[in-house]
C-alpha cells in the first residue's frame, strides 16, 4: 500500500466527481475531475521530462489553481515540490537553485529570461513558465498529454516537499517534509477543526508557505469539499465572499484589516463556523475586538515550516486569547531549561516538539539537522514558551529575540503586552540593542493607534516602570509609522535591531 499523500487525498475525493474543488474570485470553477486530470497531465509531463521520484521541482510562480495542480502533480510523480516566495529577487533565487539542484524549474514568464541562465548553471534540465492566469509553457506542453497518470508509490519517509525557512538569521535552510509528515498533520487538523460535508474554505493566503499550501489546501482535499480561492488578501473581496464560506484561515494581519474594513460585521460572518489564525501572534486585543464585533472567538494555532502545526486551541472548549492551545493529537510538546531538563507549569523555557508531523531534517545539512534535534527525537523549535496548568501553551518570543540585559532575561512579549495597553499605542515591538553597560538594553518601537498622535516616550517608560521590574523597562522608545512585517505578518525584529543598533554607543 503506497503512502503517497495524493493516494490519501484520492481515497477522500467526493463520490460525485463533478463537485467543485476550486472557485476563483472571477467565478472560474475547477471540479475534482478537472483537478485530477490537470494534475495528472502535469505529472505525465514531469515524468516525460525525466523527473524521477525524489527529484526537486522548483516553482516560483504567482498563486493560481494551476500552481495547486503543479503541487499535486509533484506528489503524483513522486517529485519534491519546492515553492518559493514570488518576491525573491535574482540572487536569492540563484542560491535556492544552487542549493536544491532541481530537475525542473517553473517560473513566471516575466522572469524567464532572468532566471533561465541561473537554472541552467544549477544543472536544471528544463525551465517552464506559468503565469497568474494559468498560461505558459507548462500548460501548453501538458495540454495534449493523457491525464490518466495514477500515482507513483511512495513510502511515508519519502520526501514530498521542501520549503525554505524564512532565514532571518543566516542563510535559509531547506526543510525536508515527507509524505508521512504532511499526511499526519493534515489528518490531525482535519479532525481537530471538525471539517465536515458542506464546508467551504475561504483561501486568501499565499501558497508558497506551509500555512496556505498545507494547512489550508490539504484540509480541503481530505474533506473532499471546495474553496473560494483569492489571488491575495483583499479586505473588500473577503467581506463580499465570506457569507459563502464556513471556514477562514488567516494570518493575524487579515483579522486586523477585516476589523478596519467597511461593512465587516456579524452579517458577513453569518455562515462561518470557525476563523483560524496563526503564523504570527494574534494580539489579545484583536481577539477581543473581533469577538465584540462578530461574536466569533478566533481559534489560534501554532506551527512552523519544519513541523507543520503543533498545537491549536480547541474547536469545542475554551479558546484562550494569547495562547496557542494544547498540542494537537499525535504531537508531544515540552518546555525545557538550558540543560534540557523539563520545566514545570508556568516556567518559561525552550519549546520542543515530537511527532509524525516533524520534518526529516535540513536539506544537505546534517550539522544543522543534528543541532535541531535532541537525542530522544524532540525538535528544538527556537520558540520560548510556558505551559499553563490546563496544558495550554503560551509563546513568549523567539529564543533569538530573548533579551539578556545586565544578566537578566527579558521576554519581549511581556513588555509588549504592557505597552500595547497604553492609550494611544497601536502596537509595539520590543528588542534588545547593544549597550556598553548592560550588554543589551531593552528598547521598544511603537506605532500610534488609529487617528492618534505618536505616543510619548516618557509616558510609556513611566507606565512600564509602574508595571514591570526595572530591568524590563525600555531605556528608549522609538515611534514609527508601521512595524516592518514579512508576507506572513511576522514583525521583522532583525530590521529594527539594525535600524537602532547605534542607539547606545558601545565602546570599541
Give the residues lining the site for ligand AMP (CB under 6 A).
165-166, 210, 278-281, 300, 302-305, 324, 381, 383, 395, 398, 488
Task: State the nearest-atom distance from the C-beta of 486 to ligand AMP, in Å.
Answer: 8
Task: State the nearest-atom distance from the C-beta of 493 to ligand AMP, in Å.
Answer: 11
In the bound state with ligand AMP, the residue whose beta carbon lies nearer, of 9 and 302, is 302
Cell of 66: 494551476
In the bound state with ligand AMP, the residue whose beta carbon lies nearer, of 138 and 488, is 488
Sheet of 393-398: strand order equals: 331-336, 349-355, 379-387, 393-398
238: alpha, beta or left? (left if phi > 0; alpha if psi -120 to 50) = alpha
In the bound state with ligand AMP, the residue whose beta carbon lies nearer, of 185 and 305, is 305
Q: Which residues pair with 440 in a beta bridge?
A: 434
Instruction: Return the axis-axis angle of helices 112-121 and 90-100, rounded to nearest 10°.
Output: 30
Tell me how crowded residue 455 is: count the other CB atoms within 10 A of its CB: 22
Task: State the nearest-atom distance from the C-beta of 213 to ligand AMP, in Å.
Answer: 11
Pairing between β-strand 425-435 and β-strand 408-410 as defined by DSSP bridges: unpaired
Q: Which residues pair with 105 in a beta bridge?
A: 58, 127
Identify the helix (H) or strand (E) that includes residue 293: helix 284-294
In the bound state with ligand AMP, the residue whose beta carbon lies nearer, of 129 and 181, is 181
Task: State the nearest-atom distance from the C-beta of 281 to ligand AMP, in Å.
Answer: 4
The CA–CA distances, whole Å, from 507 to 232, 405, 431 equal: 47, 17, 20
In the bound state with ligand AMP, the residue whose beta carbon lies nearer, of 299 and 419, is 299
In the bound state with ligand AMP, the residue whose beta carbon lies nearer, of 318 and 506, is 318
SS3 breakdown of the chain: % helix, strand, coil, rounded to 5? 30, 25, 40
Task: State the nearest-atom distance from the C-beta of 310 to ligand AMP, in Å.
Answer: 9
Count of alpha carbons within 13 Å of 10, Cβ hemisphere only? 17
Task: State the nearest-atom distance from the C-beta of 111 to ligand AMP, in Å.
Answer: 23
Taking the mean position of all CA atoms in its chain, how far away is CA 238?
19
In the bound state with ligand AMP, the residue whose beta carbon lies nearer, of 383 and 416, is 383
Task: State the nearest-atom distance from the C-beta of 417 to ligand AMP, in Å.
Answer: 13
Task: State the nearest-atom distance from the C-beta of 211 to ligand AMP, in Å.
Answer: 7
Task: State the nearest-atom distance from the C-beta of 184 to ligand AMP, in Å.
Answer: 17
In the bound state with ligand AMP, the residue whose beta carbon lies nearer, of 461 and 495, is 495
Task: State the nearest-atom distance from the C-beta of 395 to ligand AMP, in Å.
Answer: 5
User: Are 186 and 309 contacting, i.e. CB atoms less than 8 angstroms apart?
Assistant: no
Q: Is the dihedral of CA 212, 215, 219, 221 positive or negative?
A: positive
Tell me how crowded residue 31 is: count the other CB atoms within 10 A of its CB: 17
Cell of 380: 528544538
Q: For residues 492 and 255, give the distance between their C-alpha atoms in angstroms, rounded to a whole number.
A: 19
Q: For residues 210 and 192, give the distance between their C-alpha atoms in angstroms, rounded to a whole number.
A: 18
In the bound state with ligand AMP, the residue whose beta carbon lies nearer, of 104 and 483, is 483
User: Are 130 and 67 contacting, i.e. CB atoms less than 8 angstroms apart?
Assistant: yes
Task: State the nearest-atom distance from the C-beta of 322 to ligand AMP, in Å.
Answer: 9
In the bound state with ligand AMP, the residue whose beta carbon lies nearer, of 303 and 455, is 303
3-state secondary structure of 381: strand
In the bound state with ligand AMP, the residue whose beta carbon lies nearer, of 324 and 446, is 324
Cell of 417: 503586552
Closest CA to 385 of 371, 402, 368: 402
3-state secondary structure of 97: helix
Taking the mean position of all CA atoms in its chain, how far away is CA 295?
26
In the bound state with ligand AMP, the residue whose beta carbon lies nearer, of 20 and 168, is 168
Q: For residues 294 and 319, give the distance between their C-alpha atoms in angstroms, rounded to a whole number.
A: 16
Amino acid at each position: 500500500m503506497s503512502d503517497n499523500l495524493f493516494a490519501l487525498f484520492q481515497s477522500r475525493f467526493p463520490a460525485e466527481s463533478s463537485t467543485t474543488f476550486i472557485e476563483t474570485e472571477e467565478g472560474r470553477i475547477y471540479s475534482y475531475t478537472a483537478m485530477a486530470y490537470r494534475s495528472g497531465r502535469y505529472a505525465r509531463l514531469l515524468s516525460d521530462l525525466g523527473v524521477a521520484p525524489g527529484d526537486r521541482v522548483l516553482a516560483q510562480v504567482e498563486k493560481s489553481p494551476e500552481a495547486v495542480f503543479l503541487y499535486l502533480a509533484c506528489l503524483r510523480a513522486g517529485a519534491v515540490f519546492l515553492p518559493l516566495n514570488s518576491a525573491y529577487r535574482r540572487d536569492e533565487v540563484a542560491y535556492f537553485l544552487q542549493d536544491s539542484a532541481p530537475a525542473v524549474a517553473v517560473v513566471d514568464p516575466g522572469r524567464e529570461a532572468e532566471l533561465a541562465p541561473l537554472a541552467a548553471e544549477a544543472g536544471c534540465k528544463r525551465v517552464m513558465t506559468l503565469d497568474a492566469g494559468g498560461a505558459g509553457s507548462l500548460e501548453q506542453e501538458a495540454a495534449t498529454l493523457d491525464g490518466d497518470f495514477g500515482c507513483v508509490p511512495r513510502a511515508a519517509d519519502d520526501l514530498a516537499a521542501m520549503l525554505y525557512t524564512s532565514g532571518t538569521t543566516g542563510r535559509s535552510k531547506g526543510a525536508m517534509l515527507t509524505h508521512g509528515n504532511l499526511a499526519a498533520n493534515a489528518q490531525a487538523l482535519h479532525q481537530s477543526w471538525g471539517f465536515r460535508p458542506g464546508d467551504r474554505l475561504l483561501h486568501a493566503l499565499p501558497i508558497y508557505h506551509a500555512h496556505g499550501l498545507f494547512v489550508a489546501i490539504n484540509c480541503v482535499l481530505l474533506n473532499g469539499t471546495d474553496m473560494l480561492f483569492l489571488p491575495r488578501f483583499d479586505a473588500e473581496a473577503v467581506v463580499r465572499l465570506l457569507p459563502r464560506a464556513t471556514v477562514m484561515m488567516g494570518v493575524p494581519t487579515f483579522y486586523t484589516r477585516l476589523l478596519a474594513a467597511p461593512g465587516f460585521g456579524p452579517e458577513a460572518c453569518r455562515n462561518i463556523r470557525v476563523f483560524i489564525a496563526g503564523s504570527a501572534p494574534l494580539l489579545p486585543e484583536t481577539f477581543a475586538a473581533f469577538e465584540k464585533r462578530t461574536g466569533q472567538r478566533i481559534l489560534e494555532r501554532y506551527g512552523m515550516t519544519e513541523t507543520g502545526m503543533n498545537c491549536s486551541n480547541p474547536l469545542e472548549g475554551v479558546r484562550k486569547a494569547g495562547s496557542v492551545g494544547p498540542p494537537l493529537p499525535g504531537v508531544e510538546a515540552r518546555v525545557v531549561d538550558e540543560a534540557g531538563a523539563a520545566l514545570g507549569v508556568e516556567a518559561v523555557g525552550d519549546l520542543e516538539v515530537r511527532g509524525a508531523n516533524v520534518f526529516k531534517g535540513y536539506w544537505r545539512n546534517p550539522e544543522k539537522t543534528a543541532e535541531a534535534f535532541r537525542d530522544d527525537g524532540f525538535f528544538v523549535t527556537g520558540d520560548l514558551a510556558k505551559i499553563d496548568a490546563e496544558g495550554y501553551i503560551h509563546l513568549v518570543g523567539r529564543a533569538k529575540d530573548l533579551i539578556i540585559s545586565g544578566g537578566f532575561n527579558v521576554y519581549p512579549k511581556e513588555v509588549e503586552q504592557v505597552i500595547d495597553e497604553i492609550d494611544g499605542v497601536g502596537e509595539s515591538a520590543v528588542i534588545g540593542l547593544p549597550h556598553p553597560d548592560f550588554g543589551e538594553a531593552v528598547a521598544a518601537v511603537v506605532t500610534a493607534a488609529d487617528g492618534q498622535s505618536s505616543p510619548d516616550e516618557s509616558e510609556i517608560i513611566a507606565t512600564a516602570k509602574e508595571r514591570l521590574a526595572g530591568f524590563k523597562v525600555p531605556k528608549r522608545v522609538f515611534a514609527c509609522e508601521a512595524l516592518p512585517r514579512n508576507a506572513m505578518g511576522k514583525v521583522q525584529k532583525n530590521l529594527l535591531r539594525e535600524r537602532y543598533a547605534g542607539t547606545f554607543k558601545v565602546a570599541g
